[in-house]
Amino acid sequence: MKYFLLPLGCQMNRSDTERVRTVLHGMGFTETDKEEEATILGVIACSVRQKGIDKVYSRILKWNEMKQNHNCITFVSGCILPADRERFVKLFDLVFTMNELPDLPDMIRQYGVFIPMKNDDSSNTNDVETRIIASVPNSISKAPYINKVVNPSANMDRFWVINPDHLSDFEAFIPIQNGCNKFCTYCAVPYTRGREVSRKSEDIINELKELVEKGYKSITLLGQNVNSYGLDKKGEEINFAELLRRIGAYGDASGKEFWVYFTSPHPRDMSDEVIEVISQYKCLGKQIHLPIQSGDDNMLQRMNRKHTLDDYRHIIHTIRRLLPEATIFTDIIVGFTGETEEEFENSRKAMEEFKYNMAYIAQYSVRPGAVASSWADDVPKAKKRERYHILTDELMKHSLVYNQGLIGKTQKVLVTGYDRKNGYLTGHTEGKIVIRFQSRDKNLIGQIVTVKVTSATALSIEGILL
Ligand code: SF4
């Protein structure tokens, strides 16, 4: 029996999907990329943009069509706004929050579906199929399981304790926290994922140790507000800097080569101590992703970011002082409600000042459920596009200078796969600069190798394998 999963959105959803896979595999299902073969069809939804939710609707309409001549169960989980949830329960067979994932086998049993887990006798396969076909309802209006959970962050330990079935055997994510208390006005995450809850540090470190023992080379600690880790359990749990310190001490003593990253931090919780700790341990990746969102104080206030440009500047200066080799990435929004020419110009100046290696530049679009969704989206599309291009040019200017400065130097590179150019492999440096080099040796994929940089563009570098 097979399942088909459609993860949408960010790395957190990708990470959640790995635990969903574990539960389905534990029930005896195997994965397929062909929807028409699957008995279980699931979406891990993303509500960050309306586009993501539109994809969920188009998929469930297709699946419900398929139900006319194909027996299957559909589910949706992930980031879902309360209003969408109301609609989804009428369309999907199962709607649940991630903290209820351990109950998925029971939810499926409510349909009377035979779960093949205990059936080791492969000669009974036909019998199993017959029983499924007999028991899965066709009716799309039947939703025997509707969860009533109002706090999607409650009991997250039940979810985290599930061993993820990783999609890669050299790169992995470890969720360390769920939810967000920041309530940025453009973002719906606090409403879809609930309030911040930190995972037990002991469990995080154990999961990391297992990955390192298995030979993982890139491990990313994940949270919507990753560096506020521990703040919800003050006095009971360590803080983010201490978590990194313990990971760093273990990693450097292990004698293994790997890099630990984290995403996404909030400038408000980015202490000097965090940066000091990163500077002290080799295994803590020298790459910092620090969202700025805007370079203008008035705008930051309208976004409810709870920090000023000067606070942000202090962090960047501390990074440059303590981690001179670190690359810095950011997220920035153009065309947020009411953005004036002057406010935008302050964002451009900030990009010029901070000389990012990479910036994810978003043209603002209304995120349903967020506070700003009731505000006018009053910057014309053409203006947003123009501002996007101005910031992109600013980024390219600085990233090109940085990348050209690497020519002639050697870099440690994690090889991640084949490049589009035939005969080349691709990967990234510790600072997550994309690099390619000539080789057809697929055994290098998943390994850290040394490459001498020979040429550079604004977005990537090229080199020779040493
Ligand atoms: S910090 Fe702001 S942008 Fe990030 S998840 Fe929380 S509310 Fe959303």
How many Å lie between the centroid of ligand 1 and the Cα of residue 4?
30
- Which atom of ligand 1 sits closest to the CA of residue 187? 8
Assess whether 368 and 418 both reside in one domain. no
- Which atom of ligand 1 sits closest to the CA of residue 190? 7
Assess whether 319 and 352 both reside in one domain. yes
Assess whether 261 and 304 both reside in one domain. yes
| Domain finish residue from 385, 404, 423 | 404
Q: Is residue 14 part of a domain?
A: yes
How many Å lie between the centroid of ligand 1 and the Cα of residue 149?
22
Is the pLDDT score of 142 beyond 80? no
Assess whether 420 and 400 both reside in one domain. no
Please compute the mean of the pLDDT values over residues 265-287 and round it to a whole number.
Answer: 98
- Strand bridging mode 287-289 / 2-7: unpaired
Segment 311-328, tens digit of pLDDT? 999 999 999 999 999 999
Residue of 177, 181, 266, 303 to mutate, ligand 1, most atoms within 8 A of C-beta: 266
How many Å lie between the centroid of ligand 1 and the Cα of residue 272?
21
Residue nearest to atom 8 of ligand 1 (CA): 187
- Which atom of ligand 1 sits closest to the CA of residue 266? 1
Assess whether 340 and 434 both reside in one domain. no
Q: Is residue 151 part of a domain?
A: no
How many Å lie between the centroid of ligand 1 and the Cα of residue 285?
23
Is the pLDDT score of 12 beyond 80? yes
Please compute the mean of the pLDDT values over residues 153-181 and round it to a whole number.
Answer: 92
User: In this predicted structure, what is the pLDDT of residue 150?
Assistant: 53
How many Å lie between the centroid of ligand 1 and the Cα of residue 289?
14
Taking the CA atoms of residue 356, residue 360, residue 363 and residue 369 in that order, the dihedral angle to the nearest 10 degrees is -130
User: In this predicted structure, what is the pLDDT of residue 151?
Assistant: 67
Is the pLDDT score of 123 beyond 70? no
Direct distance between the N- and C-terminal alpha carbons of the chain, in angstroms, rounded to an integer? 47
- How sure is the predictor about 427, in pLDDT bands with cuts at 50, 70 and 90? very high
CATH at residue 206: 3.80.30.20
Segment 353-377, tens digit of pLDDT? 999 999 999 999 998 889 999 999 9
**How many whole angstroms separate alpha carbon 291 and alpha carbon 330?**
4
Please compute the mean of the pLDDT values over residues 41-69 and round it to a whole number.
Answer: 91
**How many whole angstroms separate alpha carbon 115 and alpha carbon 27?**
6
| Domain finish residue from 86, 113, 146 | 146
Assess whether 441 and 375 both reside in one domain. no
Assess whether 80 and 14 both reside in one domain. yes
**How many whole angstroms separate alpha carbon 333 and alpha carbon 422?**
36
How many Å lie between the centroid of ligand 1 and the Cα of residue 187?
6
Q: Which 3-state string (H, E, C) describes the chain? A: CEEEEEECCCHHHHHHHHHHHHHHHHCCCEECCCHHHCCEEEEEECCCCHHHHHHHHHHHHHHHHHCCCCCCEEEEEECCCHHHHHHHHHHCCEECCHHHHHHHHHHHHCCCCCCHHHCCCHHHHHHHHHHHHHHCCCCCCCCCEECCCCCCCCCHHHHHCCCCCCCCCCEEEEECEECCCCCCCCCCHHHHCCCCEECCHHHHHHHHHHHHHCCCCEEEEECCCHHHCCHHHECCECCHHHHHHHHHHHHHHHCCCCEEEEECCCHHHCCHHHHHHHHHCCCECCEEECCCECCCHHHHHHCCCCCCHHHHHHHHHHHHHHCCCCEEEEEEEECCCCCCHHHHHHHHHHHHHHCCCEEEEEECCCCCCCHHHHCCCCCCHHHHHHHHHHHHHHHHHHHHHHHHCCCCCEEEEEEEEECCCCCEEEEEECCCCEEEEECCCHHHCCCEEEEEEEEECCCEEEEEEC
Contacts of 311 (CB under 8 A, 6+ apart): 267, 268
How many Å lie between the centroid of ligand 1 and the Cα of residue 264?
9
Assess whether 429 and 449 both reside in one domain. yes
* Stated pTM of the model: 0.89
How many Å lie between the centroid of ligand 1 and the Cα of residue 304?
10
Q: Which of 107, 113, 80 has the alpha carbon at shortest distance from 93?
A: 107
- How sure is the predictor about 172, in pLDDT bands with cuts at 50, 70 and 90? very high
Other CB atoms within 10 A of residue 275 CB: 20
Give the full edge-to-edge strand order of the sheet including 259-263. 171-175, 218-222, 259-263
Q: Is residue 127 part of a domain?
A: yes
Residue scoring higher pLDDT (62 or 69): 62
Residue nearest to atom 2 of ligand 1 (CA): 184
What type of residue sits at position 152?
P
Residue of 178, 183, 303 to mutate, ligand 1, most atoms within 8 A of C-beta: 183
* Residue list, ligand 1 pocket, CB within 6 Å: 180, 182-184, 187, 189-190, 224-225, 266
| Domain finish residue from 125, 146, 167 | 146
Q: Which of 282, 190, 297, 213 has the alpha carbon at shortest distance from 244?
A: 282
Assess whether 347 and 423 both reside in one domain. no
User: In this predicted structure, what is the pLDDT of residue 56?
Assistant: 95
CATH at residue 416: 2.40.50
Assess whether 127 and 164 both reside in one domain. no
Residue nearest to atom 1 of ligand 1 (CA): 182
Segment 14-36, tens digit of pLDDT? 999 999 999 999 999 999 999 99
- Which atom of ligand 1 sits closest to the CA of residue 293? 3
User: In this predicted structure, what is the pLDDT of residue 403?
Assistant: 98
- Strand-pairing partners, residue 436, are 426, 462
Residue nearest to atom 5 of ligand 1 (CA): 224
Is the pLDDT score of 113 beyond 80? no
Domain count, the chain: 3
**How many whole angstroms separate alpha carbon 58 and alpha carbon 65?**
11
How far is residue 98 from each of residues 210, 282, 384, measured CA to CA in Å?
23, 34, 35
User: In this predicted structure, what is the pLDDT of residue 82?
Assistant: 85
- Which atom of ligand 1 sits closest to the CA of residue 181? 6
Parent domain of 432:
410-465
Other CB atoms within 10 A of residue 405 CB: 11
Segment 93-105, tens digit of pLDDT? 999 999 999 999 9
Assess whether 110 and 200 both reside in one domain. no
Is the pLDDT score of 131 beyond 80? no
Whole-number average pLDDT of the chain: 91
How far is residue 174 from each of residues 261, 335, 412, measured CA to CA in Å?
10, 33, 23
Assess whether 32 and 96 both reside in one domain. yes
How many Å lie between the centroid of ligand 1 and the Cα of residue 297?
17
User: In this predicted structure, what is the pLDDT of residue 130?
Assistant: 31
